[in-house]
Structures are given as C-alpha cells and as structure tokens.
Structure 1
Amino acid sequence: MPTDLRIGILGAARIAPKAVCDPARVVGGVSLAGVAARNREKAQTFADQHGIEKAYADYDELIASPDIDLVYNPLPINLHAEWTIKALEAGKHVLCEKPFAMNVEEAKAMLAAADKADKRLIEAFHYRYHPAFAVCMDWLNEGRIGDVTRIDADFSVQIRDTDDEIRQFPETGGGAMMDLGCYPLSWALHLLGSDLTVVDAKAETTRRGVDQTLLARLQHGKAWVHLTTSMAQGTPFNADMTIAGTDGLIYFKNPLAPHAGSTLSMRRADGSEVDQLRPISPISTYTWQLAAIVDALKTGQPLATEGQVIIDQQAGLDAIYEAAGLRHLRYR
C-alpha cells in the first residue's frame, strides 16, 4: 500500500501551483502523482514545470487511474459537479475549489455522491485552516467582545474583463460574489454558524450580465452581517473584516491570506487595544489546508470545510443572488 496521499490535478489551472503543488513540497506524506489538461501536451508542460509524476491524456484517464487517491478540482465552476461526481464514483477523495458549485442543488448532488462512495469531499476554503482565523474564532467563542452585533466583511479586487477570463462569463459561474464575495460569506458562516438569513442585496452588472459589485445584508439573531465585493476595473485589492460586539470589536485585516500580511487585533468599546495576535504565521493558508487534509484522511477526523457547511455556503450564495434579482445566474 502506498504511504503517500497521491494527488491528481484536473486542469492546468492558474491556482493549482499555489493551492496544491507548492504546499505538496513541504507537507509530508503527499505526492503529486498526476495532472490532466485539455490535451496531453499541455498537461506534460504543466507536469514538467511543477514536478508532477505523470501527465494524463484527459480527465477521464486521470480519474480512472489506480495511482490517484485524491483529485483536486480547480476547473471552471460549471464543471465542478460533473467531474467531482465522476471522481467520487471512481473511488477518489476530492478537494474541490471554491465556489463549490453553480447552485445548492448541484452541491447536494455532489455530497450525495460522496456519501454513496464513502469518500471525502472538501471545499477548498484554505483560509479556514490558518491559525490566525482559529484565534479569531477563539476570541469570539470566549466571549471576549461580548455578543456579536455586527460584522462588516469585504473582499474586492479587479478581475480583468477579457475574452479568456472565465470569471466574467455567466455560463462558467462568473461574478464578483461567486469568486470573491464567497469568502466574506464563508467567514461569517464559520464565525456565527449556519443560521444566516439574507435580508436584501443589491448588485451592479457587467456588459456580460454578471455581478460586478454586490452588497448584501444578512441577519443572525440580533447580529447584522454586511458583505461587500467588487471586481470592477480599477478596484484595488482589499480583504478585511470588522466584528463588533457589545463589549468591543475585532479587526481582521486580510483574513483571506494572513500569511501574506495581516493584522488581527481586539479593542474595547472605548477604542483601547486589548490584544493583538503576534506573530502571524507566514506559512501559507494552502499549506495549512493540505496538512489538515492529509491528517484527516489518516485519522478519519472531520474537516472544517466539508459536510453541511458546504450546503449552508451554497444556499447562502443562492439566496444572495435571488435577493439581488440575479437568480438566473445560479439556475440556468
């Protein structure tokens, strides 16, 4: 029996080196066993560049291979359900990129396939595995800012509007909330729990019809959640979150990728600082994620980004698009 978790990658995606290839070089018990792309030549070039053992002729060949244990699926969102289900039916675990699916019905079908195959299906919300986010959760759970009254969270950055940018196209699951805003929604879900109700949402759309900017208000008990996102041309990078409570607030600069530069601090209601996390681990969120997956597959322990939280996340996205008058982008 192989001792390493043998990973196969579907598609020579831009995110794959950062998300899987680089972490595999530092996480023990992992091997990059294969990659498949639109053609073998492209797959071979990618394999040569990133030290992957084998280039497969197509996705089906990789999924069928007995030399693959876990499939990483970074394909366009409209292909997530099809190829994730095929991989699960072939007896592979799957790490599926975010956002997980086009809509909650696809997400349910994917999870049902995982249950039937008795395989693990994980959504790649890498930030959740970084120690800085764990500290933020601990501060809340310890009641250090009292009861949460409001969360303001934003992830915005320009996404170029070109003919080869799949995040700009309705048919491939494009849109600011899908690609960027899914993170602030996920932050709120992991901090507050699943009982988030969408109150209203407002979007501006692009020439292709996807959401360019989107603002959404949600409610969790007495707490309000304000999510904002924009991929408009000229938008500078911003990822931050403020959590206000009855006794103080937490400010988290860059919860998306704390390893790339972040601030996590807690203040009293009068503005005086109570605590600040120092140092923040420079190990990448993707490395923490892969290490957690390797450990979970060995021990059988559950992961923070699998199971019901996937349904809650996708249902939240569906409800936000519905409230913004853009349901047709999720159900085509």
Structure 2
Amino acid sequence: MASSLRIGLLGAARITPKAVCEPAHVVGRCSLRGVAARDKQRASLFAEEHGIEEVFDSYESLIESDEIDLIYNPLPINRHAEWTIRALEAGKHVLCEKPFAMNVEEAKAMLAAARKSGKRVIEAFHYRYHPAFAACMDWIGSGRIGEVRRVDADFSVQIRDSDDEIRQLPETGGGAMMDLGCYPLSWALNLFGDNLEFVDSRAELTARGVDESMQARLQHDSGAFVHLTTSMAQGTAFKAEMTIAGSDGLIHFINPLAPHLGASLSLITADGEETDQWGPISPISTYTWQLAALVEALETGAALPTEGEIILRQQQMLDAIYEDAGLRSLRYR
C-alpha cells in the first residue's frame, strides 16, 4: 500500500475546509499533517476543528518540515508566488489556489521553480475533476453538436463591498475576472486547448479601481467565438452557466463550477429538441474529486489537467484581458 500523502496548510482560509480538510477525510491515503497561520491561536482552533495533527509556528517551519509532502496554498493571490516557490524549493509539491498568480511573470517563475525542484505544482481548478465536466468535453470531442461555433460562459455572484475583502482590493489581486471570471476562462481553455486567441475586453470599475464586471472575447482558430462575462457587483445573483452552440445543436451546462451542488448538462438539437440529459450528476464534491486525482497522480506519476502548460496559457489570457481593458497596472505591482 502506498504511504499516506502528508498535507500542510498555509493559513486558515475560509475555503480550506471544503477544498482540502473535508475531502481529506473522505479520500484516504492522505493526512492533514499540519497548519500554520499568522495567528497561532486561530490556527490551533482550526486544527482542533478539522482534525489537523500539528500547529506550526510559522509558514517557514511548515514548508521546511520533513513531515510534509504537499503544501496547499490558499493565501491571497499576491502571496501565491512567494510561498509556492519557497515550498517547491523546500522539496514540497504544491496545490495552489486559483487564480495562480498576479501576472504571467510570476506564473513563469513558479513553474520554473517546479521544474528545478522536480516537484509538482497544480492549480486548484477543482471543477475540472468532476465527471460532469468530463462528460461535457466528451460530447464535444465526439461531435455530438457538430462544429463548435460559439461559447457563452458566465460566472457571477455578489462579493461583499468592504475594505477588508481581499477580492475587492487591487493590491491583493482583486477583481471580478481574477476571482470569478478565471473559471469561465478555464472552462474555455479546457474545451479548446491551445487554439484560442484573445480578441478584446471591457471592464466596469469599482471605486477602489478593480473590475466590478468584465466582458471578454476570444476566438478559436476555427472561427468560433468565446464570450466570457463575470460580475461581482452588489445585488448580483449567483450564476454559473455555459452554452456551447454547434452546427448540429448545443450543449447547455448549468453550474459547471460546482455540479455537486445542483447542475444540469443538456444536449439540444438544432431544432430545439432536448435529446440527452447527462446524469445522474455525482453529489461528491468537485474538491473531493480533485484531491482523489491529486493523491493518485502523485502515487503513479500520471499527469493532471490543471498543471503544466495550461497554467501558463490561462495566465497569459488573464494578462491580455486586463491589459486590453486598461488595467494592466492592477496585475503588476
């Protein structure tokens, strides 16, 4: 039997319980070995609540520990590069939260550190590991809707407007496209691979200067267009949806973000008749699928769909979107 993957957690972020702690208790072959946070008392309470074995005095002591195999990095985006690189240099694999970095230069440095260390760095686009998204990709790849001509993808939800909300602050990599729109962008890149080119973008800004909403267009080398939309404006209702229109029909995917919380994946003919409804959709969380795939890949050496070149491609697209919208300075500080 393979030895257990020992996981270390940087910080006690709000996402960590559902992203790693709860899945770890389901997946097996892994353990929550340690946590470190700026406030050690908070880390102690977090460890007690989630069954984490040890509280470390600092981020440094956590990543240097011989008792840790993989670091989970859910820190603010502007701290991803520093602590991911330090963990890789300390001989640890890293699961880094999305979006990966502030800009493409940081992403390149992180990927270079992984190559040099011989360790793996994975971007935590959890949705990609759920069987429903795999089914969507299979439908397209098998020609169920013919030649793809247009994709419309949207992830929008209100993010509280506050001076202490990192997703609202320029210096911590805030903005709708960074936090939310990175998902529709990732959906498109996974569907089309390297054959997408940036066309244009348009943003509406908050008083703090980050993008409150963003629209962007990409084009596939076949001529198909991809339209991305995202908003974190106050009063915005949750929406995660993608429609893929082809020459012979379309695919409508409601909630590709988190299918386990309720979703539908439908195939509709050119004349509007629904011919297939994929399912049942697994209630196992996307995060659990992700961690299970990660544990398996580290045991076997298998490649993962959210590591390597696609990380760089995603960051290049994000940079292009922000630069065209006149917001390049938000990503370079």
Instruction: State the TM bucket, normalised to the shorter chain.
Output: over 0.9
Q: What one-letter code is carried by the residue in structure 1 that aligns with 2:33?
A: A
Indicate the RMSD between aligned Cα atoms, in angstroms.
0.9
Partner of 2:156: 156
Q: What one-letter code is carried by the residue in structure 2 that aligns with 1:213?
A: S
* 1-structure distance, mates of 2:253, 2:2: 41
Partner of 2:128: 128
Shift, 1:42, TM fit: 1.6
Partner of 2:313: 312
Residue 17 (str. 1) matches residue 17 (str. 2): yes
* 2-structure distance, mates of 1:263, 1:234: 25
Shift, 1:3, TM fit: 1.4
Shift, 1:164, TM fit: 1.4
Secondary structure class of the residue paired with 2:26: coil
Is the contact made by 2:2 and 2:29 (CA closer than 8 Å) also made in structure 1? no
Is the contact made by 1:35 and 1:47 (CA closer than 8 Å) also made in structure 2? yes
Shift, 1:188, TM fit: 0.2
Secondary structure class of the residue paired with 1:13: coil
Residue 105 (str. 1) matches residue 79 (str. 2): no
* 1-structure distance, mates of 2:194, 2:125: 16
* 2-structure distance, mates of 1:131, 1:73: 25
* Structure 1, gaps ≥5 residues long: none
Is the contact made by 2:2 and 2:299 (CA closer than 8 Å) also made in structure 1? no
Shift, 1:200, TM fit: 1.0
Aligned length: 332
* Structure 2, gaps ≥5 residues long: none
Secondary structure class of the residue paired with 1:188: helix
* 1-structure distance, mates of 2:274, 2:213: 33
Secondary structure class of the residue paired with 2:27: coil
Partner of 2:275: 274
Is the contact made by 1:176 and 1:229 (CA closer than 8 Å) also made in structure 2? yes
* 2-structure distance, mates of 1:296, 1:90: 20
Map 1:279-294 to 2 at 5 A.
Answer: 279-294=280-295
Partner of 2:262: 261
* 2-structure distance, mates of 1:190, 1:300: 21
Q: What one-letter code is carried by the residue in structure 2 that aligns with 1:198?
A: F
* 2-structure distance, mates of 1:226, 1:179: 17
Q: What one-letter code is carried by the residue in structure 2 that aligns with 1:87?
A: A
* 2-structure distance, mates of 1:137, 1:195: 15
TM-score computed with the length of structure 1 as normaliser:
0.99
Partner of 1:146: 146
* 1-structure distance, mates of 2:229, 2:16: 27
Partner of 2:330: 329
Q: What one-letter code is carried by the residue in structure 1 that aligns with 2:230?
A: T
Could you list the per-position Cα deviations for residues 240-294 of structure 1 after superposition, in whole angstroms to 9, with x for gaps in the alignment? 0000001100000000000000000001100111211120000000000000000
Runs of 4+ in 1 over 6 A off after TM superposition: none
Could you list the per-position Cα deviations for residues 138-189 of structure 1 after superposition, in whole angstroms to 9, with x for gaps in the alignment? 0000011011100000000000011210000000000000000000000000
Stretch moving more, 41-50 or 116-125: 41-50
Partner of 2:33: 33
Is the contact made by 1:94 and 1:120 (CA closer than 8 Å) also made in structure 2? yes
Secondary structure class of the residue paired with 1:26: helix
Partner of 1:89: 89
Map 1:25-64 to 2 at 5 A.
Answer: 25-64=25-64
* 1-structure distance, mates of 2:9, 2:327: 32
* 1-structure distance, mates of 2:40, 2:326: 42
Partner of 1:190: 190
Q: What one-letter code is carried by the residue in structure 2 that aligns with 1:17?
A: P
Is the contact made by 1:145 and 1:248 (CA closer than 8 Å) also made in structure 2? yes
Is the contact made by 1:95 and 1:121 (CA closer than 8 Å) also made in structure 2? yes
* 2-structure distance, mates of 1:140, 1:124: 24
Q: What one-letter code is carried by the residue in structure 1 that aligns with 2:94?
A: V
Secondary structure class of the residue paired with 1:295: helix
* 2-structure distance, mates of 1:283, 1:291: 11
Could you list the per-position Cα deviations for residues 102-156 of structure 1 after superposition, in whole angstroms to 9, with x for gaps in the alignment? 0011000000000000001000000000000000000000011011100000000
* 1-structure distance, mates of 2:325, 2:258: 28
Could you list the per-position Cα deviations for residues 197-251 of structure 1 after superposition, in whole angstroms to 9, with x for gaps in the alignment? 1111110000100000000111012110000000000100000000000110000
* C-alpha distance 202-55 of structure 1, shift in aligned 2 (>3 A): same
Partner of 2:166: 166
Is the contact made by 1:198 and 1:323 (CA closer than 8 Å) also made in structure 2? no
Partner of 1:249: 250
Secondary structure class of the residue paired with 1:101: coil
TM-score computed with the length of structure 2 as normaliser:
0.99
* 1-structure distance, mates of 2:279, 2:81: 40
Secondary structure class of the residue paired with 1:153: strand
Shift, 1:2, TM fit: 8.0
Shift, 1:39, TM fit: 2.6
Q: What one-letter code is carried by the residue in structure 2 that aligns with 1:300?
A: G
Is the contact made by 1:39 and 1:57 (CA closer than 8 Å) also made in structure 2? no
* 1-structure distance, mates of 2:28, 2:62: 23
